[in-house]
Structure 1
Amino acid sequence: MPDLQTNPSVKGAAGGRVAPSRRAVLAAAGSVLATAGSAAARPAPPSTITDPPRDFRPGAAPTTYFTDPDVITVDPAFDAYVVPNSAIRRLWTGALWAEGPAWNAVGRFLVWSDIPNNRQLRWLEEDGHVSVFRAPSGNSNGNSFDRQGRQVSCEHAARRVVRYELDGSATVLADSFEGKPFNAPNDVVQHIDGSYWFTDPPYGGQLYEGLPDEAGGPSNPKGHLNPRLGQPAGVVTARRVLPNAVYRIDPAGRIDRVLTDDQVPDPNGLCFSPDHRTLYICSTGKGPGDTGPGGKGEIYAFDIGSGGALSNKRLFADCVVDGVRCAPDGLRTDVDGNLWVSSNAGRAVGYNGVTVWSPAGTLIGRIRLPEVCGNLTFGGPKRNRLFMAASQSIYALTVNTQGAGPA
């Protein structure tokens, strides 16, 4: 409360100080209480997830913990994968939405997409240098390196999957199914049999991450949006006509639809178990132009048979932690078959980052980040470093396991 007894603005006729009236005291007290009540009703949202507050900026002073307080053991089984003197590091920040990290083992660099900025970026391990790797990138999303070291990318704008060959040329692996353009290929991985598997939800059919449909399409029903704005002359636009689905590109080039939207609504990230006998796939939220209920933020598993035939669908994880839905997006397995999954918990501070699940679907660990995590991959010379693409930034953590195969 203000000290009205010594407030120089309260003076008598001769300029001397006088005691305030009872009305003035009550009015001042009411003002203070009203201000306090207003602040209590609208508390400032939390800005950190550790106490004392943690500074993740690349140039910040180091903070030493043993172990990192944001690497959380949920089940004792997770302790075997924690390196006690390894801490989460923010390697870089400056994206609008970072996605699709992929590790090049020969060049020892990380590639990822900055989807809205229509570019791919590269981080060099030797000195931490970050530069633009490819621009424009077709609003690329998911990236991976196949078993021959070639980069494979999903492009939202062109609605296709592209492979960059070792001689510098580019090959379009898939841009349509049964003569109809894809929606917005999202994530892609290679199976040990040489086939490529990718998801095709509609998230790229919006201004922020790609190109909306032509007038009248599901993501542009009123035709108010012009998909050609900001695009080069001759850009080919399209209208969504295919349902969401998962596809397999046979080594011979044939494209098969292996999962429908009815089986896995809004399919997003996908990966294989270490033995390539199981497919894990995320079912994420409703996308632009979707007419169905959309996914609920769950992970499903399927057995893989001859020729890519899928069977034995089962719910692997509902991704609900402490009552908070940690919606999955990208995911990768380690050599022991554990599933490392990006977590988008929205404004639930402390639940964004990574969730780690045993092969049986038991939550064993979490990694907390100060930003929503969209995707991740294993990399580094020993493939024991977890790289996390989280909103505007790239984070890394050394772990006591290795990723299962190139990614």
Structure 2
Amino acid sequence: MGLGVVAMGSGAALAQTPAGPAAPPSTVTTPPRDFSPRGAPTTYFTDPDVLTVDPAFNNYAQPNSAIQRLWTGALWSEGPAWNAQGRYLVWSDIPNNRQLRWLEDDGRVSVLRSPSNNSNGNTFDYQGRQLSCEHLMRRVVRYELDGSVTVLADSYDGKRLNSPNDVVPHPDGSYWFTDPPYGGQLYEGAPDAPGGPSNANGRLNPKLGQPPGIGEWRRELPTNCYRVDPSGRVDLVVSEQQVPDPNGLCFSPDHRKLYVASTGKGPGDQGAGGKGDVHVFDVGTDNKLSNQKLFTDCMVDGVKCGPDGLRCDVDGNVWASSNAGRAVGYSGVTIWNPEGKLIGRIRLPEICGNICFGGPKRNRLFMAASQSLYAVYVNTQGAAPG
């Protein structure tokens, strides 16, 4: 009888042993993490969707910071840029033809500009002026501090640009931008005039729903990268042969290197298009580029994490937005050290189009992802404004 009592007591004790805390929900759990304000807490200390691949990343991840979805409701979010004086974030909702603004003080989102000419990439220069790449008008513009607009570039060698995608400022007063063809489509801009590469059979009417003058251009240039000199001259700096379908770009902290992302085939492309990788160039004192190298092929665990927007932190690590298509758990952000080694990842439940560092200390990573805007604090700062 005594043995029976002991055995029974032992079984009861075993049955009551706590199993330990359940793992927090993440992008890849079932059910997946709820990123809305109604979602359950996601962290015990570290966010489950901020992943350390190399121990070096522990120096850059902020352990007690969680990824937040700040807003949702766009059709395709792109081009986040931080205004340090106004303490707001501006980004593009390309198909909705508007720029949105998130205010840091109360988290309110409002329309900053509508129409935006289907703007894509945005940033702020060293004088605090906003730069925007316009798909519809096929140009790069600068919003002056008095509210007027200056056209920085709309053509090269007498030919209209394709659809400028991303732009970065240089301390010498120049602006560098990419010019792939992604705006030459109905959803994000306007197709070519009949007979142009993105409307070769002429079945599409690019003038429908557009103001006068739109729909009369056709693609004339390869997909190049350009530099706008302070004098206004536009120079070709990276050719299509070097980096086909260039997309995001950024400088290293010392401006001695330029990183350029090559994305997939665009509307009207006759060649193979980009390969979903990132290239790096040395920048000479004469602004000429040399010593091109493949920085990363963006393959992670056998999955192609197609790059789009790029930003460097103050230590020269490259933070790249990731488009992994249907490979759930690989879209978001990949982080590479200056030698091109993957050190960390941030998983999002949506494809990430572009990123920027912001916040008063420039230590908050904002991520424009498909329909939503996300943010997470990090233990580093962005190397450039906007």
Please say whether Structure 1 and Structure 2 have the same fold, judged by a TM-score greater than 0.5.
yes
| Counterpart residue identity of residue 391, structure 1 | S
User: CA offsets per residue over residues 306-338 of structure 1, 9 Å max, x none?
Assistant: 231000000000000000000000010000000
CA contact (8 A) 2:33 2:39 kept: no
- Give the number of equivalent residue pairs: 361
Pairwise CA distance, 1:285: 0.6
The 2-side partners of 1:390 and 1:58 are apart by 17
Distance 1:73 1:51, change over 3 A: farther
Pairwise CA distance, 1:82: 1.2
Pairwise CA distance, 1:61: 4.2
CA contact (8 A) 1:379 1:403 kept: yes
The 2-side partners of 1:347 and 1:401 are apart by 30
Matches within 5 A, 1:52-201: 53-201=32-180
Pairwise CA distance, 1:62: 3.5
CA contact (8 A) 2:321 2:333 kept: yes
The 1-side partners of 2:297 and 2:260 are apart by 12
Pairwise CA distance, 1:83: 1.2
The 2-side partners of 1:194 and 1:237 are apart by 32
The 2-side partners of 1:235 and 1:356 are apart by 39
CA contact (8 A) 1:65 1:87 kept: no
| Counterpart residue identity of residue 218, structure 1 | P
User: CA offsets per residue over residues 20-75 of structure 1, 9 Å max, x none?
Assistant: xxxxxxxxxxxxxxxxxxxxxxxxxxx94135631101343433332111000000
Q: Which residue of 2 aligns with 1:389?
A: 368
Q: Which residue of 2 aligns with 1:343?
A: 322
The 2-side partners of 1:171 and 1:285 are apart by 31
| Counterpart residue identity of residue 58, structure 2 | D
CA contact (8 A) 1:50 1:70 kept: no
* 1:378 maps onto 2:357 in alignment: yes
Pick the aligned partner of 1:280 from 240, 259, 269: 259
Pairwise CA distance, 1:232: 1.9
Residue segments in structure 1 that go unaligned for 5+ positions in a row: 1-46
Q: Which residue of 2 aligns with 1:203?
A: 182
Q: Which residue of 2 aligns with 1:315?
A: 294
Pairwise CA distance, 1:193: 1.4
SS at structure 2 position matched to 1:306: coil
The 1-side partners of 2:286 and 2:156 are apart by 18
SS at structure 2 position matched to 1:101: strand
CA contact (8 A) 1:344 1:372 kept: yes
SS at structure 1 position matched to 2:82: strand
User: CA offsets per residue over residues 102-136 of structure 1, 9 Å max, x none?
Assistant: 00000000000000000000000000000000000
Q: Which residue of 2 aligns with 1:304?
A: 283
Distance 1:313 1:234, change over 3 A: closer
Q: Which residue of 2 aligns with 1:50?
A: 29
SS at structure 1 position matched to 2:293: strand
* 1:270 maps onto 2:252 in alignment: no
* 1:250 maps onto 2:250 in alignment: no
| Counterpart residue identity of residue 360, structure 2 | P
Pick the aligned partner of 1:220 from 195, 199, 202: 199
Structural RMSD (CA): 1.1
The 2-side partners of 1:326 and 1:105 are apart by 30
Pick the aligned partner of 2:211 from 219, 229, 232: 232
The 1-side partners of 2:38 and 2:229 are apart by 46
| Counterpart residue identity of residue 124, structure 1 | L
Pick the aligned partner of 2:270 from 291, 296, 299: 291
The 2-side partners of 1:82 and 1:123 are apart by 24
Of structures 1 and 2, the larger Rg is shown by 1
| Counterpart residue identity of residue 337, structure 1 | G
The 1-side partners of 2:159 and 2:42 are apart by 53
CA contact (8 A) 2:206 2:214 kept: no
Pairwise CA distance, 1:179: 1.1
Pairwise CA distance, 1:84: 1.1
Give the fraction of aligned pairs with identical amino acids, expressed as a percent: 75
User: TM-score normalized by structure 1?
Assistant: 0.87
Matches within 5 A, 1:26-45: none
User: CA offsets per residue over residues 2-35 of structure 1, 9 Å max, x none?
Assistant: xxxxxxxxxxxxxxxxxxxxxxxxxxxxxxxxxx
Pairwise CA distance, 1:269: 0.3
The 1-side partners of 2:265 and 2:351 are apart by 18
Residue segments in structure 2 that go unaligned for 5+ positions in a row: 1-25
The 2-side partners of 1:307 and 1:238 are apart by 33
The 1-side partners of 2:180 and 2:212 are apart by 27
User: CA offsets per residue over residues 118-175 of structure 1, 9 Å max, x none?
Assistant: 0000000000000000000000000000000000000000000000000000000001
SS at structure 1 position matched to 2:352: coil
User: CA offsets per residue over residues 361-406 of structure 1, 9 Å max, x none?
Assistant: 0000000000000100000000000000000000000000000020
The ranges of structure 1 where at least 4 consecutive aligned residues each deviate by more than 2 angstroms after the TM superposition are 50-53, 58-65, 233-237
SS at structure 1 position matched to 2:59: helix
Pairwise CA distance, 1:237: 2.6
Q: Which moved more, 1:48-57 or 1:325-334?
A: 48-57
SS at structure 2 position matched to 1:308: coil
The 1-side partners of 2:40 and 2:59 are apart by 29
The 2-side partners of 1:125 and 1:399 are apart by 17
